[in-house]
A and B are shown apart, each in its own frame.
Chain A
Amino acid sequence: MQQQKNEVLPGTLNLMVLKTLSTLGSLHGYGIARRIEQISGNALQLNQGTIYPALLHLEQMGWISSKWGVSENNRRAKYYSITRAGKKQLAAEEENWRRASEIMIRFLAPTEENT
């Protein structure tokens, strides 16, 4: 069976962006998108464009900040980095997700056995 590419679950993109920035530090939009694709093992069908409204939203919330800079091959790019509020938010969301996914896994486990 062909590996199916999953849509990004609603609300998860923000979390992924925050996690990426917290791991890698300052990064431009393209880098963030690449990183998310790599981590998901290319199983995630990311419309890279969708990352920009998400970045804007995070910036409006004050969780990330942005600054124009120059990339490794001398290209002008906007660099994003996580703020203190963003780190706090990330910790809270990580905890939420862990709990939610545990519940979902437990919930879904018997069904798998039956099939």
Chain B
Amino acid sequence: MTWLRVFIHRLRGLFLKRELEQELEDEIRSHLEMQFEDNLRLGMSPEEARRQARIKLGGVTQTQERYREQRGLPMLETLLQDLRFGARMLKKNPGFTLIAVLTLALGIGATTAIFSVVYHVLLKPLSYHEPEQLVWVWGEQAARKQMPHTPADFLDYQRRNQSFAQMAAFRNMSFALGSAGQSAQPERVDGRIVSANYFALLGVAPRLGRSFAPEDGLAGASRLVLLSHSYWQQRFGGEAAIVGQSLTLSGEPATIVGVMPPDFREPGIALWTNPRQIVPDFVTSARDDLTSVRRNPYLSVMARLKPGVTLPQAQADMDAITAGLRQEYPDLYASKGVRLVALHEFVVGDTKLTLLLLFGAVGLVLLIVCANVANLTMARAATRTKEFALRAALGAGRGRLIRQLLTESVLLAVAGGICGVGLATWGLNLLVALSPKAVPRLAEIRLDWRVLMFALGASLLTGIVFGVLPALTSARVNLNETLKEGGRDAVAGTGQRTRGALVAAEVALALVVLVSAGLLVKSFWRLQQVNPGFDAARLTTMLVWPTEEKYADIAASRAFIRELSARLEKLPGTEGVAISNDLPIRGSDASATPVVEGRPPFKPGEGIQVGRHTVNAAYFQAMRVPLLRGRALTERDDENAPLSVVINESAANALWPGEDALGKRMKLARLATAWAEVVGIVGDVKHDGLHLDSQPHMYTSHLQFPWATLRITVRSSQGATAVAAAVRGVVQSLDPLQPVSDVRTMETVMADANAGRQLSLVLFSLFAVIALVLACIGIYGVTAYSVSRRTRELGIRMALGAERREVSRLVIRQGMTPVLLGLVTGLTAAFFLTRLMSGLLFGVSTNDPLTFAGIATLLVAIALLACWLPARRATEVDPMVALRSE
């Protein structure tokens, strides 16, 4: 324990420096005086006594110095000295310091912010208990993937499987949430009806109250509600006493039993409610009979694997179950199947490719940062050859010199790191703000400290390696020669080549990132050019969902819609009112396989899939969907008239290839009985998404096929808020308890559909800009450095009659050589690498010549600028000054 004691003692010495110094002084003074008095006693004169006392004591300064060494921690003090000196050196070279810190900060900040997004969206395990055991159970039917299941399927799977510890089913549903006993306007919220074991399966416990017990899933159980944390905060102000309170759920009394924890989020879901009895509760309408329980798929299913069971084993088990069902119900299950997907994969879904590419971009940018830092520190070490030779000549040990350089590198990395952390925090907030809300798990994104450490470590290591290596070599250099030469060319030869290679690498890396970003920008631009098939200008859309119990009577529902459209059309500024069951761009709520008159019947899963929409008579005119042939639907296509259908061009071509579809008849679904006449053909609307080819779609009158959802879309010269208020007024004048929700402009709807694309575009562009800036810094740094080293040579050239233009051309040529080399390498690399992102592109080839050429030109132009600045400075050198330099 002696060392500890000594250490504490010394540490005390470090902090009580002044007091201890004073104490030593006192001690020495008393020493001298005692000696002085003794000397006097020996008969010396006072002067002689004083002199002898001093001689006897020896050098006071040396004593103090040795005392100090013994007292404090010399290592630490040297370090502090190195730090002070390093800081002074960095301050003396503000250009170098600024560039190095900026490079590090940009690199560390950007990579950390973006990696944090990547990690939290893509890599981080789900916040469920043992998430790797969770699987999503998809249904498949013929060519159709990702289908839901029928309640009967679910019950069969649950009973027959050997692989799952549990299986849970759920369906999303919109509810009118009202306070019990009050006549206030209910609120429309999205909820999820879940089987009673849903939370047990996920392994998530509520934060307040309880979750559902098995008996809550039985027939006759009362309606119970679990609230999401955010909805609890928003609507109930985080009131803990809410548990046990009653409310109404679409008119039905319900009790709040709990609140979920804040990290349990399901996108858009405000509440969960129990099924009471799995089949009946999942069946929405009285029209569904038992057959339709086996026929009508609407359940999503999740399952938890038994411990030790692998996904392929479970898949084989499910395949066997569906094979069994196929034998029992040959007609229904002929082409049905089940596909298991790991839940994690399902949640991440389409963003995976984007995020992996971004990850690649992070790596590239970090490489550029490292190349830049390496370049800067190497250049700097080279300019300091003389300084180091001098210090070595004055007796500094090699270890001491290297320690000095290390200290400076660390200082630089720490400064860059601090700025980087700031930039990362700010950048992350920016990224989250810029990210479309549709990106999964956005709310979970936090700054990732491990990446920060990684980026910091990588930059630090680069700084150290490339800062110390030249120091090692220069320490070995012949001191005499170096000092005589003025340290000019000691390391320049090989250094120049290495720096050129680093610049070439930087340019190549930046080019790859820039080309990727360019392709994404072009895709996005192309996407904006796509004709959606309707005119989105000045459209405001909102959702009205007449509460089920009130409008269960079809006649009441029809009357409500008739009156509603009549009143809406009279609103000031209204150019048209479209009522439909769904919105374009976002896919169809329903689809069917129609049977064309005169063609043989087909098996389930075969036939042509046609998206199905229920619209009002004014729909095409209001949305400005062009009517190509025939007529639009009218008010006369009502419940008393024969069925009429309007189809789009794609449907006409698909169902009646080479024939005129107008006037032909079809059954709207495989099992439908009534014939519908094609009365009109309209232009294709991008129902399934702007980036997809147009699919077949058909439109029927909402008078003939009433739908629970009313999407009201108004084209009006008034602004969106005014329109929403007016529509709300109209709806409430008809039914004061009827909520209006999801008010948005059509432009927002279209932007949201491009959310993922927009995110990758933003991230990639950010990266591209950072890569470009960093590459510029690199090019500029190297050229400027080489110019400053060649001041004398350039001066001689000019003194000997070289034109300014020639000198500047010489500098630029030398600066651009590695750039062009990097350009060629980068273009080649990009040519192959962009193939990886073909899934993200739209309307542009992965090797789009225009993008490649444009990016190359941009890079060359900026590189020229980065070389021209130092070149101009070179020509402004006064030959006489240059010759005298150093």
Q: Are A56 and B71 in contact (CB under 8 A)?
A: yes
In-complex Cβ contact of A60 among B6, B26, B28, B59 (8 A): B6
Q: Are A53 and B66 in contact (CB under 8 A)?
A: yes
Cβ contacts under 8 Å, B71 to chain A? 56
In-complex Cβ contact of B5 among A28, A50, A60, A76 (8 A): A60
Bound-state CA distance A59–B12 (Å) is 13
Q: Are B58 and A47 in contact (CB under 8 A)?
A: yes
Bound-state CA distance A48–B2 (Å) is 27
Bound-state CA distance A75–B71 (Å) is 25
Which residues between 1 and 54 of chain A lie within 8 Å of chain B, taking CB atoms?
28-31, 33-34, 47-50, 52-53
Contact A49-B70, Cβ < 8 Å, known A30-B30, A71-B34 = no
Q: Are B58 and A77 in contact (CB under 8 A)?
A: no
In-complex Cβ contact of B9 among A29, A60, A75, A78 (8 A): A60
Q: Does B57 contact A (CB under 8 A)?
A: yes
Bound-state CA distance A53–B37 (Å) is 24
Q: Are A53 and B26 in contact (CB under 8 A)?
A: no
Q: Does A57 contact B (CB under 8 A)?
A: yes
Q: Does A100 contact B (CB under 8 A)?
A: no
Quote the shortest CB–CB distance from B400 to chain A (angstroms).
23
Q: Are B10 and A60 in contact (CB under 8 A)?
A: yes
A76 and chain B: residue at smallest CB distance: B30
B63 and chain A: residue at smallest CB distance: A49
Cβ contacts under 8 Å, A47 to chain B? 57-59, 63
In-complex Cβ contact of A78 among B27, B37, B60 (8 A): B27
Q: Are B30 and A48 in contact (CB under 8 A)?
A: no
Bound-state CA distance A34–B6 (Å) is 28
In-complex Cβ contact of B63 among A50, A57, A60, A71 (8 A): A50
Bound-state CA distance A49–B59 (Å) is 7
In-complex Cβ contact of B58 among A29, A34, A50, A62 (8 A): A50
Q: Are B2 and A61 in contact (CB under 8 A)?
A: yes
Q: Are A28 and B58 in contact (CB under 8 A)?
A: no
Q: Are A73 and B63 in contact (CB under 8 A)?
A: no
Q: Does B67 contact A (CB under 8 A)?
A: yes
Cβ contacts under 8 Å, A33 to chain B? 31
Q: Does B24 contact A (CB under 8 A)?
A: yes
Q: Mark A68-109, 1 if CB is under 8 A from B, else 0.
A: 000101011110000000000000000000000000000000
Q: Are B30 and A53 in contact (CB under 8 A)?
A: no
Contact A62-B5, Cβ < 8 Å, known A71-B34, A77-B27 = yes
In-complex Cβ contact of A49 among B26, B30, B33, B58 (8 A): B58
Q: Are A29 and B31 in contact (CB under 8 A)?
A: yes
Cβ contacts under 8 Å, A78 to chain B? 23, 26-27, 30
B5 and chain A: residue at smallest CB distance: A62
Q: Are A49 and B28 in contact (CB under 8 A)?
A: yes
Q: Are A49 and B57 in contact (CB under 8 A)?
A: yes
Cβ contacts under 8 Å, B57 to chain A? 47-49
Q: Are B34 and A77 in contact (CB under 8 A)?
A: yes
Quote the shortest CB–CB distance from B685 to chain A (angstroms).
87
- Interface centre among A28, A30, A47, A48, by most chain B C-beta atoms within 10 angstroms, is A30
Q: Mark B1-41, 1 if CB is under 8 A from A, else 0.
A: 01001100110000000000001101110110111011000
Cβ contacts under 8 Å, B66 to chain A? 50, 53
Contact A76-B37, Cβ < 8 Å, known A52-B63, A53-B70, A56-B67 = no
Q: Are B6 and A30 in contact (CB under 8 A)?
A: no
Bound-state CA distance A78–B654 (Å) is 108
Bound-state CA distance A87–B60 (Å) is 30
Contact A52-B28, Cβ < 8 Å, known A71-B34, A75-B33 = yes
Cβ contacts under 8 Å, B35 to chain A? 30, 48
Q: Are A48 and B31 in contact (CB under 8 A)?
A: yes
Q: Are A52 and B24 in contact (CB under 8 A)?
A: yes
Bound-state CA distance A78–B31 (Å) is 10
Q: Are A77 and B30 in contact (CB under 8 A)?
A: yes
Bound-state CA distance A52–B31 (Å) is 11
Cβ contacts under 8 Å, A60 to chain B? 5-6, 9-10, 70
Cβ contacts under 8 Å, B63 to chain A? 47, 49-50, 52-53
In-complex Cβ contact of A59 among B9, B31, B37 (8 A): B9
Bound-state CA distance A59–B26 (Å) is 18
Q: Are A53 and B69 in contact (CB under 8 A)?
A: yes
Bound-state CA distance A61–B67 (Å) is 15
B56 and chain A: residue at smallest CB distance: A48
Quote the shortest CB–CB distance from B821 to chain A (angstroms).
61
Bound-state CA distance A56–B21 (Å) is 12
In-complex Cβ contact of A48 among B33, B58, B69 (8 A): B58
Bound-state CA distance A114–B529 (Å) is 111
Q: Does B291 contact A (CB under 8 A)?
A: no
Q: Are A30 and B31 in contact (CB under 8 A)?
A: yes
In-complex Cβ contact of B27 among A29, A31, A57, A61 (8 A): A29
Cβ contacts under 8 Å, B28 to chain A? 49, 52
Bound-state CA distance A62–B3 (Å) is 11
Cβ contacts under 8 Å, A61 to chain B? 2, 5-6
Q: Does B62 contact A (CB under 8 A)?
A: yes
Quote the shortest CB–CB distance from A55 to chain B (angstroms).
9
Bound-state CA distance A28–B35 (Å) is 12
Quote the shortest CB–CB distance from A95 to chain B (angstroms).
19
Bound-state CA distance A2–B59 (Å) is 25
Bound-state CA distance A34–B67 (Å) is 20
Contact A76-B26, Cβ < 8 Å, known A49-B58, A53-B67 = yes
Cβ contacts under 8 Å, B5 to chain A? 60-62
Bound-state CA distance A76–B30 (Å) is 7
Cβ contacts under 8 Å, A48 to chain B? 31, 35, 56-58
Bound-state CA distance A62–B8 (Å) is 12
Q: Are A75 and B30 in contact (CB under 8 A)?
A: yes
Cβ contacts under 8 Å, B34 to chain A? 28, 30-31, 71, 75, 77
> Residues of A at under 8 Å CB distance from B?
28-31, 33-34, 47-50, 52-53, 56-57, 59-62, 71, 73, 75-78
The 9 listed contacts between A and B (C-beta, < 8 Å) are A31-B34, A34-B38, A48-B35, A52-B24, A52-B27, A53-B69, A71-B30, A77-B31, A78-B26
A-B residue pairs, 4 tightest by C-beta: A49-B63, A47-B58, A49-B58, A60-B9
Known A-B contacts: A50-B63, A61-B2, A71-B34. Give 17 more (CB < 8 A).
A31-B34, A47-B57, A47-B58, A48-B56, A49-B28, A49-B58, A50-B58, A52-B67, A53-B66, A56-B71, A60-B10, A73-B37, A75-B30, A75-B33, A76-B30, A77-B30, A78-B23
